[in-house]
Amino acid sequence: MFGFDLMSMIAGLPGLIIAMVIHEYAHARVAVAMGDFTPRLMGRLTLNPAAHIDPIGLIMLLVVQFGWAKPVMINPANFRDRRKGDMLVSLAGPGANILMAFFALAFMVVYMKMGFPLTRGFRMVLYLIVLYNINFAIFNMIPLPPLDGSKVLMAFLPNEWQYKLMSLERYSFMILIVLMMTPVLGAILIPLQRLILNLFYMILGIIF
């Protein structure tokens, strides 16, 4: 999913942690805003990495390029509007990753335009923050349970099709492994990644 060598593993660690924390915090924040206080009771309304990082999931991500954070527990029955709440909470994580990626890239552009020295290592750290946040957003929007994309899709499906989609969850792990072991995931990830980066550069070119 991310393509590591030793240097990028070290330089990418901040980006991975930031991507995971921002993603889960956004889920928690929007769930509370929609009326469910479960994330607050579970201590997830914080940017403290300890509340969101699953150590095994992080190690797995570094070693085998497939990992996870601690999922935010929510109770959709508490949402003022369940369908809307489900959709917005699901969009919040990927949306926060996209915003984080844009702000990190904007910081890098402004930093260079102001003439500050940008070492190769610092540039790599910043760029990987951008890249990993984009990758997290795209990956989590795959419409496969329990990823966020499936929950967004279910908001638009009739109940019968929702149940059919949810029934795929038992096979999700194997499907994701197959996607990662074949060119399929790259064929999805790389063009979207380039599209988002080009859009960022276009926006920053207009601003600056």
74-115 tens-digit pLDDT? 999 999 999 899 999 999 999 999 999 999 999 999 998 888
Is the model's pLDDT at 176 over the cut of 60? yes
32-64 pLDDT, tens per residue? 999 999 999 999 999 999 999 988 888 877 776
- The predicted pLDDT at position 203 comes to 95
Question: Whose CA is closest to 48, among 18, 89, 81, 15?
Answer: 18
Separation of CA 181 from chain center:
20
Is the model's pLDDT at 30 over the cut of 90? yes
Q: Is the pTM of this model over 0.85?
A: yes
178-201 pLDDT, tens per residue? 888 888 888 888 999 999 999 999
Sign, CA dihedral 6-10-15-21, equals: positive
Active-site option among 21, 24, 88, 149: 24
Where does residue 181 fall: left (phi above 0), alpha (psi -120 to 50 degrees), or beta otherwise?
Answer: alpha
Is the model's pLDDT at 1 over the cut of 70? no
Average of per-residue pLDDT across 12-39 = 95
List CB contacts of 178: < 8 A, sequence separation 6 or more. Answer: 184
- The predicted pLDDT at position 169 comes to 85
* Cα R_g (the chain), whole angstroms: 18
* Mean of pLDDT over the chain: 89
Write the DSSP string, 107-162. Answer: HHHHHHHTT----HHHHHHHHHHHHHHHHHHHHHTSSSTTSHHHHHHHTTS-HHHH
24 noted as active-site residue = yes
Average of per-residue pLDDT across 5-17 = 82
